[in-house]
Amino acid sequence: MTIAAAAKSPLRPRRKQADRTAETRSALIEAAIQVIHRTGYNSATTAVIADEAGVSRGAIIYHFNTRAQLMSEVIASVYEREHRQYELLQKQGHDGSAIGEWPDMLWEVLSQPSGMAVIEILQASRSDRELAELVRPAQERIELISAKGMLGRFGWTDEKEMLAAVRLFVWAIRGLSIAQVLVRDPSEIERSIRFFRKMVTHAFGSGRMSEDLQVQTPSV
């Protein structure tokens, strides 16, 4: 290439350090999700995750300090991803205005590999104090945000009751996502989702809980 041609050729901008850092962190988080989904939490060592991401093993220590910190970032990243998926479903016409829509919407989002990774990480936090201290605040925050959003959507006034409902919906679906490993015929899981939809539609109707199903607070 001549000097004149080189002068006319546009220079490729150098990536900023912040961009490279973000890319590496994102690659490690995605690698952790894939390894956990494929082989389980216990097999997702820092060495295996680093190899999956195609980076040095020291990169995890540099970017996350500990394995527990990486796993807490996986939780945060997955929750952000799931929020975007709910927004996309709403744009596609599934706005969740009828409570009977939520079993299918939750299944669409939570049954993915990232959702399975979240289950394994949360389960591992039972025996890992550092991990528990990191993921518990994220879990509590997302539950409260979800409950407050549903309060306005369906006109309920009891935040604790709504939180209980959100937990029931989410963990029922997460439980069914685990069942995918054991149930050979996917149509059987789909049948359970349909049955769940019928149950909540019958119980909640337009979204307001029937009086006979409301949780009664015992008098002191």
Q: Is the pLDDT of residue 209 over 70?
A: no
Q: Is the pLDDT of residue 5 over 70?
A: no
Q: Does a structural domain hold residue 15?
A: no
pLDDT at 13 (0 to 100):
54
Q: Does a structural domain hold residue 83?
A: yes
Within 13 Å of residue 3, how many CA atoms lie on the same side as its CB? 0
Q: Does a structural domain hold residue 149?
A: yes
Q: How far is CA 197 from CA 97, 183, 191, 200, 202, in A?
A: 14, 20, 10, 5, 9
Q: Is the pLDDT of residue 154 over 80?
A: no
| pTM, 2 dp | 0.79
Is residue 142 helix, strand or coil?
helix
Range of the domain at 146: 74-207
Contact residues for 122 (Cβ-Cβ < 8 A; gap 6+)? 75, 135, 139
Number of structural domains found in the chain: 1
Q: What is the mean pLDDT of the chain?
A: 85
Q: Is the pLDDT of residue 168 over 70?
A: yes
pLDDT at 210 (0 to 100):
45
Q: For residues 189 and 176, is the Cβ–Cβ distance under 8 A? A: yes
Q: Does a structural domain hold residue 220?
A: no
Q: Does a structural domain hold residue 143?
A: yes
Comparison of pLDDT for 138 and 13, the residue scoring more: 138
Q: Does a structural domain hold residue 57?
A: no
Mean pLDDT value of segment 183-204 = 90
**What is the pLDDT confidence band of residue 73, given thresholds at 50, 70 and 90?**
very high
Q: Does a structural domain hold residue 58?
A: no
Q: Does a structural domain hold residue 24?
A: no
Output the CA torsion sign for 122, 126, 131, 135.
positive
Radius of gyration of the chain from Cα atoms? 22
**What is the pLDDT confidence band of residue 10, given thresholds at 50, 70 and 90?**
low
95-100, long-range: CB < 8 A, 24+ apart: 96/153, 97/153, 97/207, 98/201, 98/206, 98/207, 99/154, 99/200, 99/201, 99/204, 99/206, 99/207, 100/197, 100/200, 100/201, 100/204
